């Protein structure tokens, strides 16, 4: 058993509950591997775990996404060996660590030409973009959709991916600077929600038709306006709660607004099957290696400064992805 360092929480709350601690690192057991992290991704789901919106059994590690090198493998692990470069984004929680022991089944091999920090910036966000654009509704060239938080980590990858598919994405962001960043990353239009009326601007951009799909990770603050942007038979994809949980859905409202569809998908459901995880990851890697998707790392923090990263993320003061360096 060796000693390492990790960020852990003993109670829920603000960024201050993230504690830098010494932890014991055991040898991997059956079906497990020990991974030495090269970079760790920060995602809004980490905030949900920290605040208790998505409860964890405390005390607990935190973080779902990282990339690194396999140091040791346990019995029964035949698809990985020491020295393999790997990445993951599907838990269990505990990625905010210099090294950890974890189930081998959640790891995918990382191509040699994708750096650890790039992988940590793109696994959860890139696979989220993949299931949104390619699985929740398989968008086709010419489709028009609305994507909130266009300058965030998922949003920037989605914009580039949509451009490669020939899909017209309308983005939203909270400043002109963030809108310009979104436009540089594949968006056909970007609406500054602080200075423009979202619904009227979407209707203007779509000749009053509305969009086929809304992708909304903001939640409570955008819910009603998102529904108002949809065309008849449109699909509302709620995949996050950055501003808080959405209000209860009244089915008669969906009927009155045009026979709308609503779904609340999660990445974890999509990648629960290992064969599907491998297929989705390969498609993401192919997009990155082709140059059609270039993940943007907007901020880097030392692992021990994870609280600062969370504070910046919650203040919506970030662009692209946040990476922690062990």
Residue 129 is assigned to a structural domain of this protein: no
Domain range spanning residue 158?
Answer: 141-264
> Over 90: is that where the pLDDT of 283 sits?
yes
Residues 70 and 19 in one domain: yes
Domain CATH for 275: 3.90.180.10
Identify the pLDDT of residue 152. Answer: 86
Cα–Cα distance for residue pair 121/43, rounded to 1 Å: 9
pLDDT in tens, 2-38: 889 999 999 999 999 999 999 999 999 999 999 999 9
Residue 131 is assigned to a structural domain of this protein: no
Identify the pLDDT of residue 318. Answer: 79
Residues 23 and 110 in one domain: yes
Residue 128 is assigned to a structural domain of this protein: no
Residue 175 is assigned to a structural domain of this protein: yes
Identify the pLDDT of residue 315. Answer: 86
Count structural domains, the chain: 2
> Over 80: is that where the pLDDT of 137 sits?
yes
Residues 160 and 86 in one domain: no
Residues 100 and 169 in one domain: no
State which of 247, 264, 281 marks the end of a domain: 264
State what percent of residues in the chain have pLDDT above 90: 83
pLDDT in tens, 306-320: 999 999 998 877 777
| Average pLDDT rounded to a whole number, residues 251-277 | 93
User: What is the band of 208 on the pLDDT scale with cuts at 50, 70, 90?
Assistant: very high
Residue 87 is assigned to a structural domain of this protein: yes
- The DSSP letter of residue 196 is S
Residues 100 and 163 in one domain: no
Beta-carbon contacts of residue 89 (< 8 Å; ≥ 6 apart):
41, 64, 65, 123, 124, 127, 267, 271
Residue 14 is assigned to a structural domain of this protein: yes
199, 223 Cβ separation under 8 angstroms: no
Cα–Cα distance for residue pair 166/150, rounded to 1 Å: 17
Residues 6 and 100 in one domain: yes
Residue 127 is assigned to a structural domain of this protein: no
On average, the pLDDT of the chain sits at 93
State which of 226, 245, 264 marks the end of a domain: 264
Domain CATH for 175: 3.40.50.720
- Among 146, 128, 127, 67, CA closest to 100: 67
Cα–Cα distance for residue pair 26/274, rounded to 1 Å: 25
Residues 36 and 112 in one domain: yes
Cα distances (Å, whole numbers) of residue 201 to 52, 146, 211, 215, 229: 36, 11, 12, 17, 9
Residues 100 and 11 in one domain: yes
Residues 21 and 81 in one domain: yes
Residue 132 is assigned to a structural domain of this protein: no
> Over 90: is that where the pLDDT of 244 sits?
no
User: What is the band of 153 on the pLDDT scale with cuts at 50, 70, 90?
Assistant: confident
Residues 207 and 272 in one domain: no
Residues 190 and 239 in one domain: yes
Residues 209 and 172 in one domain: yes
State which of 264, 282, 308 marks the end of a domain: 264
């Amino acid at each position: 058993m060796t000693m390492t360092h990790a960020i852990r929480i003993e109670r829920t709350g603000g960024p201050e509950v993230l504690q830098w601690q010494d932890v014991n690192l055991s040898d991997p057991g059956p079906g497990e591997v020990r991974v030495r992290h090269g970079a760790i991704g920060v995602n809004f789901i980490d905030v949900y775990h920290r605040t208790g919106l998505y409860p964890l059994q405390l005390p607990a590690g935190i973080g779902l996404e990282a990339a690194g090198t396999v140091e040791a493998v346990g019995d029964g692990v035949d698809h990985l060996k020491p020295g393999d470069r790997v990445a993951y984004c599907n838990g269990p929680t505990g990625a905010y660590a210099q090294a950890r022991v974890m189930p081998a089944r959640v790891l995918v091999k990382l191509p040699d030409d994708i750096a650890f920090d790039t992988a940590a910036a793109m696994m959860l966000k890139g696979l989220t973009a993949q299931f949104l654009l390619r699985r929740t509704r398989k968008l086709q060239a010419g489709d028009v959709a609305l994507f909130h938080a266009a300058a965030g980590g998922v949003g920037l990858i989605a914009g580039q991916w949509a451009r490669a598919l020939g899909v017209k994405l309308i983005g939203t962001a909270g400043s002109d600077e963030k809108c310009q960043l979104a436009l540089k990353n594949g968006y056909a239009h970007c609406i500054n929600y602080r200075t423009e009326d979202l619904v009227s601007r979407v209707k203007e951009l779509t000749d009053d038709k509305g969009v086929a799909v809304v992708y909304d990770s903001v939640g409570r603050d955008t819910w009603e306006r998102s529904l108002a942007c949809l065309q008849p038979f449109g699909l509302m994809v709620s995949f996050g709660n950055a501003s808080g949980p959405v209000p209860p859905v009244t089915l008669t409202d969906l009927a009155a607004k045009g026979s709308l569809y609503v779904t609340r998908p999660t990445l974890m459901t999509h990648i629960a099957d290992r064969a599907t995880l491998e297929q989705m990851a390969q498609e993401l890697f192919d997009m990155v290696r082709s140059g059609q998707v270039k993940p943007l790392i907007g901020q880097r923090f030392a692992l021990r400064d994870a609280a600062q990263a969370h504070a910046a993320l919650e203040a919506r003061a970030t662009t692209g992805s946040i990476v922690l360096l062990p």
